[in-house]
Amino acid sequence: MKRILLNLAVAVSSLLGTGIAAVAADLPDLGGRDVVIASENTYPPLQFVDPKTGQAGGWEYEAVAEIAKRLNMNVEYENVSWDAMIPAVSAGEYDLAMNGITIREDRAEKVAFSDPYMRSEMFMLVRADEDRFTDPKGFGANNDFLAGAQPGTTPFYVTVYEVLDGDENNQRIKLFETFGAAVQALKTGDVDLVLTDSTGGQGYVNANPDTFKLIGDPMGTEDFGFIFPKGSELIAPFNAAIASMREDGTLDALNKKWFFDYKAAQ
């Protein structure tokens, strides 16, 4: 099935230039509206700063650029930390945010989500030479093993409730302001595990195959979406654009580009 989808994505990607105009004609027209988007840029390949160019890019940037074309809007980005992102969007400081954000009920109490644009699974990210444990049970059994996490994120709660003992104050969890900082701590040996969805984790593995690997079975699935202030009039147009990109194969083509073809800089 994967091979069939990849072949379809290749075929579709060669046709995108001829099909987009027709699809866009059936979508809402935002009349060149300016839209401000918050992003953290620490989550490859969805969003990151390319060390070769110093420019932000990735799957989400390219997807939003396509959405902007289809909806006729202008986009401006602002770098915002994860801790501040949801409260800031909830308060209307930004029109929306993108950060590989898992669609969850507790977050939906504060912000509105778009329809999912991607589904991913949670995995254990470890150093490439890790051989002391291979699953959550093995990690949890040794009190010397430490996990790195961002507070308030899905990986944090999965670490707490599925890998450790359910205590959010467990001293084996070392908290970091960004996902990238947690991964750097893993690299230097300050922690032994970082939980991540397969999207972000595979991005780090692809960029550093001699440094990191993903181990164990997936621990559930999660859907990603853009977040908006409650009642935002942008939600319906974005959902329409996402649906059109799924229908015409654009999302498959982006997945192929960023998860199979893209070779990240070391």
Domain boundaries of the chain, sorted by first residue: 34-117+225-260, 120-222
Number of CB atoms found within 10 A of residue 133's CB: 19
Residue whose pair of structure tokens reads 């890019």 in the numeric block:
57
pLDDT of 227: 98
Q: Answer yes or no: same fold for 34-117+225-260 and 120-222.
A: yes
CATH class, 34-117+225-260 region = alpha beta
Residue 186 in contact with residue 194, Cβ under 8 Å?
Answer: yes
Q: How far apart are CA 260 and CA 13, in angstroms?
A: 14
CATH assignment, 120-222: 3.40.190.10
Report CA Rg, the chain.
19
**What is the pLDDT at residue 201?**
84
* pLDDT tens for each residue of the chain, 266 residues long: 333 333 333 333 444 443 444 455 589 999 999 999 999 998 888 999 988 899 999 999 999 999 999 999 999 999 999 999 999 999 999 999 999 999 999 999 999 999 999 988 889 999 999 999 999 999 999 999 999 998 877 788 888 888 998 888 999 999 998 888 899 999 999 999 999 888 778 878 888 899 999 999 988 788 999 999 999 999 999 999 999 999 999 999 998 888 767 765 54
pLDDT, position 180:
84
pTM: 0.68
